[in-house]
């Protein structure tokens, strides 16, 4: 979190809003292409390893690498499109993504093996080293050049090489057993399939903003979201810690104990939102002075943190492999959000994005709670 924060300060104060908007646009395209790496395999690895089926790890890694090449092929085709548009910067950036995507996404698999083994100290240590070294590399690059292509190259080069190093290091030091629950990989593919629309939804707002209102507005929106992403970091860690625990608990136990814990967490989140709304103007004036106009949007985005309790209920459905219910949630909610984006972003720009997110979260609350009670 600290390194991500320092990097955001560097971006806010060193490069122009237009260049940063283009940078975010390219990374959003990459994230959409990374759908082919089958993110659901990560959950399957955690659950498989937590149940002593460590062969799921290597099997899952091979599966992710194989399917990631599909994303690389798509990236080449998009690069060709930008070439015909006369945009050389975007063309070369997409070719860089095509080369590094399998390594970038495959390399992160070590994290989920360590999560499944509950070796959280190693997971934190390795991930922190990667984050620090990659951040230093990018900041040094920013101080030397503002060139978009070089920034994209250093980003993917640093993360890919470091992730692959710790992947091999993890395999060497832990020597996973060969017990392989084939059902877990199949389940991971199901999770990946049902999560496709959701993953697209997480980035399509950036793509729509870039297309309809330009890179500067995308940069303003990105910095409005930055502090919220930093706050969301610990909540995401809680989810990762919860998966192996929920996987081995009974459904009745989860339904009995989880809502009480989530109610307490919701109260804490509400207090956190109030504090952030008060402090946001001072925060931006000190750290992001070029993005003062992001403040009102950031305050509104703080309310999106209230979706966390519902995401924990959906996580419990993942842990218990409730495939049909997960399909319904992961298809219905993203479709609602994409429709709202398509309607509201052309009309209201950044405000349209935020309104769409908040409305879709109201639907998310009722749908997630309904399926959790039916678990």
- Domain residues for the domain of 367 are 221-373
Read off the pLDDT of residues 240-272 as tens digits, 9 standing for 90 and up.
677 667 766 777 777 777 788 888 888 999 999
Residues 367 and 274 both lie in one domain: yes
Could you give the CA distance from residue 184 to residue 97 in angstroms, rounded to a whole number? Answer: 29
**Structure token digits, residue 348:** 């209201």
Q: What is the mean pLDDT of the chain?
A: 88
Residue 199 lies in a domain: no
- pLDDT value at position 277? 95
214 within a domain of the structure (yes/no): no
Burial per residue of 335-347, b for 16 or more beta-carbon CB atoms within 10 angstroms, e otherwise: ebbbebbeebbee
Please say whether the beta carbons of 154 and 141 come within 8 A: yes
Residues 226, 173 share a domain: no
Give, in order, the Cα–Cα distances in Å from 62 to each of 37, 50, 163: 10, 19, 15
Is 211 within the bounds of a domain?
no
pLDDT in tens, 280-312: 999 999 999 999 999 999 999 999 998 887 787
Do 46 and 153 sit in the same domain of this protein? yes
- What pLDDT does residue 347 have? 92
**Is residue 279 included in any domain, yes or no?**
yes
- Highest mean pLDDT among 50-54, 133-137, 199-203 belongs to 133-137
Q: Using one digit for the tens of pLDDT, what is the confidence trace for 312-351?
A: 777 777 777 677 777 788 788 888 999 999 999 999 999 9
Is 36 in the same domain as 110? yes
Structure tokens at 174: 């832990």
- Do 255 and 342 belong to one domain? yes
Same domain? 171 vs 288: no
| pLDDT classification of 162: cutoffs 50, 70, 90 | very high
Residue 373, class by beta-carbon neighbours within 10 Å (0-12 exposed, 13-18 middle, 19+ buried)? exposed
Q: Do both 147 and 233 map to the same domain?
A: no
DSSP percent split of the chain into helix, strand, coil, nearest 5: 90, 0, 10
Give the span between the Cα atoms of 253 and 156, in whole angstroms.
Answer: 43
User: 167-195: per-residue pLDDT in tens?
Assistant: 999 999 888 888 777 778 787 887 787 77
The position carrying tokens 């690389």 is: 72
pLDDT: is 16 or 186 the higher one? 16
39 secondary structure, DSSP code: T
d(CA 137, CA 130): 11
Residues 6+ apart with CB under 8 A from 1: 230, 233, 234
Three-class secondary structure of residue 179 per DSSP:
coil
Asked, for residue 243, whether it belongs to a domain, the answer is yes
Amino acid 77: pLDDT: 97
Query: Does some domain include residue 304?
Result: yes
User: What is residue 214's predicted lDDT score, i.e. its pLDDT?
Assistant: 92
pLDDT value at residue 1: 78
Dist CA 238 CA 357 (whole Å):
22
Residue where one domain finishes, among candidates 166, 182, 198 = 182
Contacting residues for 372 by C-beta, under 8 A, at least 6 apart: 255, 313, 314, 316, 317
More reliable by pLDDT, 248 or 197: 197
**Residue where a domain stops, chosen among 182, 208, 235:** 182
How far, in Å, CA of 74 to CA of 94, rounded? 9
Find the angle CA(24)-CA(32)-CA(319) to the nearest 5 degrees: 120
Q: 71-122 pLDDT, tens per residue?
A: 999 999 999 999 999 999 999 999 999 999 999 999 999 999 898 888 888 9
Q: Write out the two tokens for 179.
A: 């017990």
Structural domain count of the chain: 2
Same domain, 174 and 243: no
State pTM to two decimals: 0.83
Do 124 and 243 have their domain in common? no
Residues 173 and 311 in one domain: no
The reported pLDDT for the residue numbered 312 is 78
Same structural domain for residues 26 and 166?
A: yes
Q: Kindly state whether residues 263 and 140 are assigned to the same domain.
A: no
């Amino acid at each position: 979190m600290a390194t991500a924060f320092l990097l955001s300060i560097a971006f806010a104060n060193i490069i122009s809003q237009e260049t940063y908007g283009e940078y975010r646009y390219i990374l959003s395209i990459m994230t959409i292409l990374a759908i082919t790496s089958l993110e659901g395999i990560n959950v399957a690895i955690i659950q498989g390893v937590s149940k002593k089926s460590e062969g799921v790890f290597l099997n899952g890694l091979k599966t992710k690498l194989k399917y990631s090449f599909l994303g690389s092929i798509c990236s080449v085709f998009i690069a060709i499109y930008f070439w015909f548009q006369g945009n050389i910067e975007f063309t070369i950036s997409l070719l860089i993504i095509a080369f590094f995507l399998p390594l970038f996404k495959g390399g992160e698999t070590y994290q989920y093996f360590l999560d499944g083994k509950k070796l959280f100290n190693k997971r934190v240590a390795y991930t922190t080293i990667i984050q620090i070294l990659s951040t230093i590399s990018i900041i040094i690059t920013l101080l030397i050049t503002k060139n978009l292509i070089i920034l994209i190259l250093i980003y993917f080069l640093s993360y890919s090489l470091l992730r692959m190093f710790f992947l091999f290091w993890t395999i060497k030091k832990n020597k996973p057993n060969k017990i392989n629950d084939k059902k877990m990989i199949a389940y991971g593919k199901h999770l990946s399939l049902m999560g496709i629309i959701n993953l697209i939804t997480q980035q399509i707002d950036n793509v729509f903003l870039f297309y309809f209102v330009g890179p500067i507005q995308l940069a303003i929106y990105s910095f409005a979201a930055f502090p919220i992403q930093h706050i969301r970091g610990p909540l995401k860690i809680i989810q990762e810690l919860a998966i192996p625990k929920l996987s081995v608990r009974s459904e009745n136990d989860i339904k009995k104990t989880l809502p009480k814990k989530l109610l307490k967490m919701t109260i804490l989140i509400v207090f956190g939102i109030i504090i952030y709304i008060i402090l946001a103007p001072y925060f931006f004036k000190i750290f992001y002075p070029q993005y003062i106009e992001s403040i009102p949007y950031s305050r509104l985005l703080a309310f999106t943190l209230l979706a966390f309790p519902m995401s924990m209920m959906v996580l419990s459905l993942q842990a218990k492999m409730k495939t049909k219910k997960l399909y319904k949630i992961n298809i219905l909610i993203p479709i609602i959000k994409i429709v709202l984006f398509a309607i509201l972003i052309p009309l209201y720009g950044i405000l349209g994005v935020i309104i769409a997110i908040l409305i879709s979260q109201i639907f998310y609350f009722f749908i997630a709670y309904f399926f959790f009670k039916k678990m």
